[in-house]
Amino acid sequence: MAYGMHMELLERELFLAELRGLLDQASDGDGWLAMLGGEAGVGKTSLTRQLAHEVDSSARVLVGACDALSTPRPLGPIEDIASSASENLAQLLRGNARRDEIFRAVLTELSLGPEPTLLIIEDVHWADEATLDLMRFLGRRIGGTRSLVLATYREDEVGSTHPLRIVLGDLATASNVRRMSLPPLSERAVRTLVGVRDLDVGALYNRTGGNPFYVTEVLATEVNGIPPTVRDAVLTRAARLSEPARRALAAAAVMGSPMEPRILPEVADVDTVAIEECLASGMLRADGESLAFRHELAREAILATISPPRRRELHSLVLARLRALPQSDKDVAVLAHHADAAGDRDAVLEYAPAAARDAAALRANREAAAQYVRALRFAKGLPDEQRLALLEAYAEVSDLSGQGAPGIGPRNEMIVLARAIGDRAKEAEHLSWLALSLSTAWRTTDAERAMEEALAILADIPEGLAHARVYSILAELRMMHRDLVPAVAWGERAVDLAERFGDDLTLAQALNSLGGARLVGDDVERGRADLERCLDIARQVGDEGLEAGALADLGSGLSEVYRFAEADRYLCAAITYANEHDLGLLDFWRHWAVAWLALTRLFQGRWDDAAEHAVFVLRFGTEAADTSETPAPGVVPTSFQNPSYVKIPALIGLGRIRARRGDPQVAPILNEALALSPPSGPFQFLGSLRAARAEAAWLIGDRHQTAVEARAAYDVVVRQGLRWQAGELAYWLWRAGELTEPPATVAEPFALQIRGDWAGAAAAWDVLSCPYEAARARAESSDETALRLAWATFDGLGARPELAAVTQRLRELGARHLPRGPRKSTRANASHLTAREMEVLFLIEEGRSNAEAAKQLYLSPKTIEHHVSSILAKLSVSSRQGALAEARARGLLPQS
């Protein structure tokens, strides 16, 4: 397996053919992104190299790779291709241009002609956050380029919580993205490789699983017997090299990728002969100007044999040599890595913060946070101010307060340091951030105490921005527990102070808290105005997270007060925004908005859509909440408390849909939502979760449980003045026979129903466009027309339990021509008549005019005309009589 020899790849022709085909299409102006997955050692790199070799004369080939470093270089693969790409891209990278400029330059690069471009990006499972965002960016726009971007990744390393998983999910719905999975070799292929050698092919195949790297390592060692692991195979091969060559290998293993070949001889204390020997043996290969191991698995195997002290020594040597290189060739991320591994405190403190700033500039926040964590590990003995500055920088890039428990340790440290340097304003601010972290970890009592301490300090210092910030957080805390009156009060004070002291970001955050509190308190106009103002500021200052958050908060807030049409618009805007900005840090907002969209569409009767949204959010695994108080080093910061919190609205939505449909597996879903909720105390979803559980209990006929669930939240929600949630809970208590009078603070439609005015309630629900609730109100009557209308609606929605109840009621009333079961819904589905259209059809059958139908359904005559036209079109008839005849023929209406 000497390098440079053109290998005939076994069983890869189909893949190569497919990729060549994609490149041909790219040549015609139809670009593609191919994601090539496979286990380590399965030959992804061999395939890409073979492809590059084959198309070399007809395409421009650019190759970049992601580093196997704990803190990979931000946009490392793009750095790799810079020298082969056009001058513009290289300049932008050198000149620290803004991220979106670089992204666009890459896109331009991929559209150059006349030949198509093949851009290979290897090992994207190690990609830094900026590169992942680039993949999202490219994935959506690749079709317009003249390129094939081929990204490889280790499938087995991309679990459900891996950042690449979300990117792959995104790309799944993009056009011009192809996913391919490279399988191991078959036994026949292994047999071919073994050739005439004296080896038990079956045993080799079983041991290696057909993994090409493993197989070829074994074959290269030329020993009898099969080494038990891939590692052993590699080491056996290495053992045959001379001692200098083995030193070179060890040094190369420590250097890792990207490897700087100039310094290898010095670090290993060998001459070039030894390195040639490594190349000749195939353990190292030349990669353009640089060197690399034949495979990362080989490097890992060698690395494992180096003792820790020797490793530190080598890292030290590498660091020294890298530092001696000219400035332009230095990469602070790589230097920080070696400094850390060498245990060189001064070097770490020199390079890690610089690397962090570089990464942050490119929005590779994960990597920035990891660099700060690295610096902090070596920060003992630093003056307090510097230490505090590092911690604050870390907090900023990792959204520490949103993380809950892992934010507590660092924040406590910041408080101690602020106190030590006598900065009272900072002390108060950090205390309030701590309160937020404690609150999101559901340690409410501790949070209150921290906040009280912060307020006590503020009382002693002249009013300033610190006050504005702390009050803003206090408003947020109150909001989280739906303590709305104080939330609004503190929010108003925060806004006032932020305006007075002229700080835009603080003002925006204060408006966010205030607006949110007003919205869910049903002060819709003012709440919306506040949030719109927050949105404006966010746009002005260019804060994407704040903008996405404001849109999502507008959506969720409006949804909570049953303004579903408007909520839908804002939520869609938030999702579109997050999609268009290709920022990993917006993923949280996207999932949050989609989860809320599920709830919103549930109430709008769009159950298929709602279910799909819920399933989307639930599909991405979220790790169990990190309850440790210090973040694990290099941890992936995920925004927002318990990262599973975002699942709660999705679970409520899906649970309600299943319950209303009469589908199985309702309890597991709603129980999971309960398990994810804070163990005690009011919180955002207390009311709606208990209402969902009450409804589920009702629909399976468990009256007692309905009351139990409703009681669990009723008093709190009434006291908090949450009219809609209180309304629904009161409704369930009423149906369960435990309530006769609605309390004062209850939303109108529910109040009407409890007082027995089903018609008024139905009308109110119609205005809100809640077909299920409207039908449910009508179903409480004894009026045959209303019951038939309800029947039609339930039938159209597929609400089996309610449908059965209404059918029963109609029978009890002695109604004739009773619909005989699900027949109509299936036929209606086939004719694609909506529930509303079915209602209109019923009324036409009863001989009502458009005006009469309009009155009955609380619609305008114009809308009725609209529906009639739609019915005629769907049934392919030209008159109302024709519609009736056709509907009877199709079984939508009973034969008269």
List of residues contacting other proteins (CB under 8 A): 608, 611-612, 615, 654, 658, 661-665, 798, 800, 821-823, 825-827, 829-830, 891
Which residue is associated with the tokens 């509190």?
A: 517
Torsion of CA 140, 143, 148, 152, to 10 degrees: 30
Contacts of residue 624, Cβ cutoff 8 Å, sequence gap at least 6: 644
* C-alpha distances in Å from residue 826, one per residue of 734, 772, 792, 795, 868: 34, 18, 12, 9, 21
Residue type, 428: A
3-state secondary structure of 313: helix
What's the distance, Cα to Cα, between the start and end of the chain in Å?
84
Please tell me whether the peptide bond between 114 and the residue prior to it is cis, using omega within 30 degrees of 0: yes
- Choice between 634 and 662, CB closer to other proteins: 662
Output phi, psi for 461, to 5 deg: -120, 155
Name the token pair of 69.
């470093």
Name the token pair of 568.
């839908």
- Choice between 829 and 881, CB closer to other proteins: 829
- Beta pairing partners, 154: 38
- Choice between 861 and 894, CB closer to other proteins: 894
Name the token pair of 113.
């002609």
Bin 769: left if φ > 0, else alpha if -120 < ψ < 50, else beta.
left
> How do 290-293 and 284-287 pair as beta strands?
antiparallel
- Give percent helix, percent strand, percent coil of the chain, each to the nearest 5: 70, 5, 30
- Choice between 211 and 825, CB closer to other proteins: 825
- Choice between 721 and 801, CB closer to other proteins: 801
**What does the radius of gyration of the chain's CA atoms come to, in whole angstroms?**
33
Rounded to a whole number of angstroms, the minimum distance from the CB of residue 663 to other proteins is 4
- Choice between 743 and 822, CB closer to other proteins: 822
- Choice between 665 and 808, CB closer to other proteins: 665
Rounded to a whole number of angstroms, the minimum distance from the CB of residue 887 to other proteins is 13
- Choice between 348 and 610, CB closer to other proteins: 610
Residue type, 205: Y
* Alpha helix positions (H), 816-860: 823-831, 835-845, 850-857
> How do 147-154 and 117-122 pair as beta strands?
parallel
Rounded to a whole number of angstroms, the minimum distance from the CB of residue 519 to other proteins is 30
* Residues 93/275, Cβ–Cβ less than 8 Å: no
Name the token pair of 310.
């020797």
* Residues 105/161, Cβ–Cβ less than 8 Å: no
Please tell me whether the peptide bond between 649 and the residue prior to it is cis, using omega within 30 degrees of 0: no
Rounded to a whole number of angstroms, the minimum distance from the CB of residue 825 to other proteins is 7
Q: How far is CA 670 from the centre of its chain?
A: 22
- Choice between 771 and 798, CB closer to other proteins: 798
Rounded to a whole number of angstroms, the minimum distance from the CB of residue 890 to other proteins is 9
Rounded to a whole number of angstroms, the minimum distance from the CB of residue 833 to other proteins is 14
Name the token pair of 866.
């609209």
Rounded to a whole number of angstroms, the minimum distance from the CB of residue 305 to other proteins is 43
Torsion of CA 135, 141, 144, 150, to 10 degrees: 20
- Choice between 406 and 819, CB closer to other proteins: 819
Rounded to a whole number of angstroms, the minimum distance from the CB of residue 552 to other proteins is 24
Name the token pair of 867.
């529906």
- Choice between 237 and 647, CB closer to other proteins: 647
Rounded to a whole number of angstroms, the minimum distance from the CB of residue 841 to other proteins is 17
Rounded to a whole number of angstroms, the minimum distance from the CB of residue 608 to other proteins is 8
- Choice between 165 and 419, CB closer to other proteins: 165
CB atoms within 10 A of CB 114: 7
Name the token pair of 163.
């950042």
Q: How far is CA 108 from the centre of its chain?
A: 28
Angle between helices 784-797 and 758-767 (to 10 degrees): 40
Rounded to a whole number of angstroms, the minimum distance from the CB of residue 888 to other proteins is 12
Q: CA 423 to CA 180: how far, in whole Å?
A: 56
Q: CA 230 to CA 238: how far, in whole Å?
A: 13
- Choice between 454 and 838, CB closer to other proteins: 838
Q: CA 350 to CA 332: how far, in whole Å?
A: 9
Rounded to a whole number of angstroms, the minimum distance from the CB of residue 614 to other proteins is 8
- Choice between 210 and 819, CB closer to other proteins: 819
* Residues 519/559, Cβ–Cβ less than 8 Å: no
Rounded to a whole number of angstroms, the minimum distance from the CB of residue 800 to other proteins is 6
Rounded to a whole number of angstroms, the minimum distance from the CB of residue 658 to other proteins is 6
- Choice between 531 and 841, CB closer to other proteins: 841
Torsion of CA 347, 353, 356, 362, to 10 degrees: -110
Q: CA 323 to CA 101: how far, in whole Å?
A: 30
* Residues 588/642, Cβ–Cβ less than 8 Å: no
Rounded to a whole number of angstroms, the minimum distance from the CB of residue 168 to other proteins is 16
Nearest to 856 by CA among 783, 803, 782: 783
327 secondary structure, DSSP code: G
- Choice between 202 and 821, CB closer to other proteins: 821
Rounded to a whole number of angstroms, the minimum distance from the CB of residue 224 to other proteins is 45
- Choice between 228 and 664, CB closer to other proteins: 664
- Choice between 681 and 822, CB closer to other proteins: 822
Rounded to a whole number of angstroms, the minimum distance from the CB of residue 607 to other proteins is 9
Rounded to a whole number of angstroms, the minimum distance from the CB of residue 106 to other proteins is 33
